[in-house]
Amino acid sequence: ISHVLLCNVTQRVSFWFVVTDPSKNHTLPAVEVQTAIRMNKNRINGAFFLNDQTLEFLKIPSTLAPPMDPSVPIWIIIFGVIFCIVIVAITLLILSGIRQRRRKNKEPSEVDDAEDKCENMNTIENGIPCDPLDMKGGHMNDAFMTEDERLTPL
């Protein structure tokens, strides 16, 4: 404190100061003091337990903290997550739609196949080939039916 002189002290803690250089016995130029304070503002603040709002050096604008800049902006990460989920959902919906349609197309032809298979299997039951025509039991010979009998009586 021996090389710092105070003057113009007021009620509110504010004062002017100059810094002297003991070896050369003159005051240091303002520009040098200003750059020194700018570089060490943090330490000065810390020493007084103050911050940029409560400790102000006139004509020395405080350097603002650089914005926190992550390498990948956060919004892109979340966007990527949401977009991937949506694309996967769309693909699943399209695939399930294709599968549903293929199942619907296969159903009528599958029913026909089942009937044929049933007939083929029945004819080789017990190792004895049966006459396929007999398996469709209950066949009426139309030649011996009269007109009235064909229709169900009320």
* Binding range to another protein, per CB under 8 A, among 80-88, 108-116, 126-134, 143-151: 80-88
Considering the complex, state which of residue 105 and residue 120 has its C-beta at the smaller distance from another protein. 105
Considering the complex, state which of residue 100 and residue 122 has its C-beta at the smaller distance from another protein. 100
Residues 7-66 that bind another protein (CB under 8 A): 10-12, 14, 54, 61-64, 66
Burial class (CB in 10 A: 0-12, 13-18, 19+), 37: middle
Phi-psi region of 11 (alpha: psi -120 to 50; beta: other; left: phi over 0): alpha
Residues 83-142 that bind another protein (CB under 8 A): 83, 86-87, 89-90, 93-94, 97-98, 101
- Asked if residue 55 lies in contact with residue 45, where contact means CB atoms within 8 angstroms, the answer is yes
